[in-house]
Structure 1
Amino acid sequence: MFLVTLRFSANKAKAAAFMEGHNAWIQRGFDDGIFLLTGNLQPSAGGAVLAHNVSRADLESRVKDDPFVAEDVVSAEILEITPGRTDERLSFLKG
């Protein structure tokens, strides 16, 4: 499982120009069964994605395809998490 942080760069003002493509990128992640959750980093710092069922290499490639990343609106960091303990509602994450 992975947590991807997308922190705004100095080019944050360009976000509106690439929002449609970014939203389409998010939708593809959900449609492909990779993204479990997306949301905003507070306060107005960027976004985050919880991803699973993907290799790190494939996720890195997918993240590079995000228009926000490609156009340097955000900088991405991928954190890999190996679930140990989970609430039973999230037991599917333990693989």
Structure 2
Amino acid sequence: MYVVLVNYTAPLEEIDYALADHAEWLTRQYEQHHFLASGRRNPRVGGVIIARPMPRGKLDAILATDPFALRHLATYEVIEFSATRTAPEVHRVNEALTH
């Protein structure tokens, strides 16, 4: 699994201008079962995405298609982790616990 910290590199006015496109991109990632959760950080300096287990290269390719990335409005810090404990509702998506 991954935690992705999205860090804005542009003023919020530019972020807000691209927000609808970013939201559509997020919708596609959920439809393709890539992401488990996402949302804004507080204070509003970026966002957080929790991604399902997948090869790191695949996640990097997905993030590269984000309108924020395409417009150079944000950078991404990817933290990979192996969840050894999860809530029951998350257990079925945690490959580390199914082996």
Q: TM exceeds 0.5?
A: yes
Q: 2:85 is matched with which residue?
A: 85
Gaps of 5+ in 2: none
Tell me if structure 1 keeps the 8 A contact 2:2–2:53. Answer: no
Residues 15-26 of structure 1 aligned to structure 2 (within 5 Å): 15-26=15-26
Rounded to whole Å, the distance in 1 between the matches of 2:75 and 2:21 is: 16
Distance in structure 2 (CA, Å) of the matches to 1:40 and 1:72: 18
CA 1:53/1:94 → structure 2, altered by over 3 Å: closer, same or farther? closer
Secondary structure at 1:33's aligned position in 2? coil
Once residues 36 and 14 of structure 1 are traced to their aligned partners in structure 2, the CA distance between those partners, rounded to angstroms, is 26
Q: TM-score, normalised by structure 1?
A: 0.88
Counterpart of 2:51, as a letter, is A
Quote the offset at 1:25 in angstroms.
Answer: 0.9
Displacement, 1:53? 4.0
Aligned partner of residue 43 in structure 1, secondary structure: coil
Is residue 62 of structure 1 aligned with residue 86 of structure 2?
A: no
Identity value in percent = 23
Structure 1: 5+ residue stretches without partners = none
Alignment partners' CA distance in 1, 2:87 and 2:30: 22
Give the Å deviation of 1:10.
Answer: 3.7
| TM-score using structure 2 length | 0.85
Cα shift readout 1:49-90 (whole Å, capped 9, x = no counterpart): 111142210110110110111212111111111111223232
Determine the C-alpha separation between the residues in 2 that align with 1:13 and 1:49: 21
